[in-house]
């Protein structure tokens, strides 16, 4: 199989302002902030961007908006939307475009002002006619149903779900730009306002503003970049359903496929991964993804996340930025898993920096456990 392993690298990453941004800032402004900062981080001029990738919850053709705002005239334009995993899937498509010579520099962007605009999750995803009569609340109800099934089938407990939120908060306390940094215990999570059994409000992601940007180029060119390259070692995308009622088994996600594809391309196994960044829209998500990506056996995710194993100082650092649960969640969180993975590889993560990070995994989920995208990134040393 021809492989993209080590052929392209992420050379620039940045967030826009996060949290609740200044009045009047738009989705496009946040994309503009993040893109400007990421290009500066990469040492690449805006005029060199010839591939533009953008997902959006509000724009049907988001690369048109972004290119116009940024003053970029791309030869390759991808506004594909598979939900919150889109930006990670864009890594694969950008890598293919760079490797095939269609483009030299890819810019992947995302932005949202969902907190300022509405104070609730903006989801263009209309509930299908087959589910709408029962008034599920997208996407909350669907994740609660998955959690109920995991608890029934494997004995996963609310305390184990809570451990995911507690670990995320402990990481967020090490991240100065995280939105929620106050103390949080398992008891706090269990006592929080119930919203959709078995999930309480602390089992659910934040609603914040925010944007992000990634700059990719060939591995050769990446070696001339001002900062150490984060080489794309493997990347995989998979999706099986759109509606939760069409998901064959609520305890097994398409991360089993996206992860297997990424690890096969990289020639790595979960044991080789030093830090893990997962899209944690709800506390059940990291449990499912740690199982489906092969960090533990199916059904053992609840126990795996307990006793501080994924928290600071634990055996496996997971969501070192504080995740969508405590750091930021502007609707489609996927791009932030890559930003944090790159920072950990570069040694730029400040108080939350892990030692000797050579391989980082970024995994994002879209819609209602529907689409999954997995990326493995590594330092220059992983290529030798």
Partner 1 sequence: MTESPPGPWSGYQEGLARGELRFQRCGECGRAVFYPRLLCPFCGSADPAWETAAGGGTVYATTTMRPRDEAPYHVCLVDLDEGFRMMSRVDGVAPDAVRIGDRLRLLIVEEDGRPVPTFVPAERS
* Residues binding partner 1 (CB under 8 A): 129-131, 133-137, 141, 144-146, 148-149, 152, 194-198, 243-245, 250
Whose Cβ is closer to partner 1: residue 133's or residue 313's?
133
120-128: long-range contacts at Cβ-Cβ below 8 A with a sequence spacing of 24 or more? Answer: 120/207, 121/207, 121/331, 122/57, 122/58, 122/331, 123/57, 123/331, 124/57, 124/58, 125/83, 125/367, 128/242, 128/243
Is the Cβ–Cβ distance between 384 and 257 less than 8 Å?
A: no
Whose Cβ is closer to partner 1: residue 121's or residue 219's?
121
Whose Cβ is closer to partner 1: residue 69's or residue 240's?
240
Is the Cβ–Cβ distance between 325 and 346 less than 8 Å?
A: no
Q: How far apart are CA 27 and CA 114, in angstroms?
A: 9
> Least distance to partner 1 from the beta carbon of 368, Å?
11
> Least distance to partner 1 from the beta carbon of 83, Å?
19
> Least distance to partner 1 from the beta carbon of 120, Å?
12
> Least distance to partner 1 from the beta carbon of 302, Å?
16
> Least distance to partner 1 from the beta carbon of 373, Å?
23
Q: Which residues pair with 215 in a beta bridge?
A: 12, 107
Whose Cβ is closer to partner 1: residue 174's or residue 195's?
195
Residue 325: other Cβ atoms inside 10 A: 31
**Sole residue written with tokens 């990469």:** 42
> Least distance to partner 1 from the beta carbon of 196, Å?
5
Whose Cβ is closer to partner 1: residue 205's or residue 247's?
247
> Least distance to partner 1 from the beta carbon of 282, Å?
12
Q: At what angle do helices 284-292 and 255-266 cross, to 10 degrees?
A: 50
Paired tokens of 339? 């930003």
Q: How far apart are CA 213 and CA 178, in angstroms?
A: 18
Whose Cβ is closer to partner 1: residue 58's or residue 128's?
128
Helix segments in 173-269, DSSP class H: 186-191, 219-222, 255-266
Whose Cβ is closer to partner 1: residue 149's or residue 227's?
149
Paired tokens of 239? 């999706």
Phi/psi at 154 (nearest 5 deg)?
A: -120, 0
């Amino acid at each position: 199989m021809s492989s993209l392993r080590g052929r392209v690298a992420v050379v620039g990453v940045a967030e826009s302002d996060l949290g609740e941004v200044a009045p009047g800032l738009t989705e496009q402004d946040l994309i503009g902030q993040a893109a400007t900062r990421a290009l500066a981080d990469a040492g690449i001029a805006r005029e060199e961007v010839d591939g533009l990738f953008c997902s959006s919850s509000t724009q049907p053709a988001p690369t048109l908006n972004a290119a116009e705002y940024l003053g970029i005239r791309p030869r390759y334009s991808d506004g594909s939307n598979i939900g919150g995993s889109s930006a990670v899937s864009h890594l694969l498509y950008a890598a293919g475009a760079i490797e095939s010579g269609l483009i030299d520099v890819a810019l992947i962007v995302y932005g949202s002002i969902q907190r300022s605009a509405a104070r609730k999750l903006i989801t263009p995803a209309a509930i299908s006619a087959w589910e709408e009569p029962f008034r599920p609340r997208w996407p909350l109800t669907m994740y609660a149903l998955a959690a109920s099934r995991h608890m029934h089938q494997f004995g996963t407990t609310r305390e184990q779900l809570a451990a995911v939120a507690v670990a995320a908060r402990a990481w967020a306390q090490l991240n100065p730009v995280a939105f929620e940094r106050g103390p949080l215990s398992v008891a706090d999570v269990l006592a929080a306002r119930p919203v959709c059994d078995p999930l309480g409000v602390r089992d659910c992601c934040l609603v914040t503003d925010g944007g992000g940007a990634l700059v990719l180029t060939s591995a050769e060119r990446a070696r001339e970049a001002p900062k150490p390259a984060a080489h794309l070692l493997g990347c995989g995308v998979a999706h099986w359903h759109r509606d939760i009622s069409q998901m064959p088994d609520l305890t097994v996600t398409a991360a089993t496929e996206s992860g297997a594809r990424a690890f096969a391309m990289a020639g790595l196994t979960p044991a080789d991964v030093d830090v893990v960044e997962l899209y944690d829209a709800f506390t059940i998500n990291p449990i499912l993804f740690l199982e489906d990506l092969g960090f533990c056996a199916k059904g053992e995710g609840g126990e795996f996340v307990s006793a501080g194993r994924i928290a600071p100082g634990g055996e496996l650092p997971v969501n070192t930025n504080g995740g969508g649960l405590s750091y930021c969640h502007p609707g489609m969180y996927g791009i932030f898993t890559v930003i944090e993975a790159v920072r950990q590889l570069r040694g730029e993560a400040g108080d939350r920096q892990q030692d000797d990070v050579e391989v980082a995994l970024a995994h994002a989920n879209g819609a209602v456990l529907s689409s999954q995208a997995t990326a493995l990134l590594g330092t220059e040393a992983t290529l030798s």
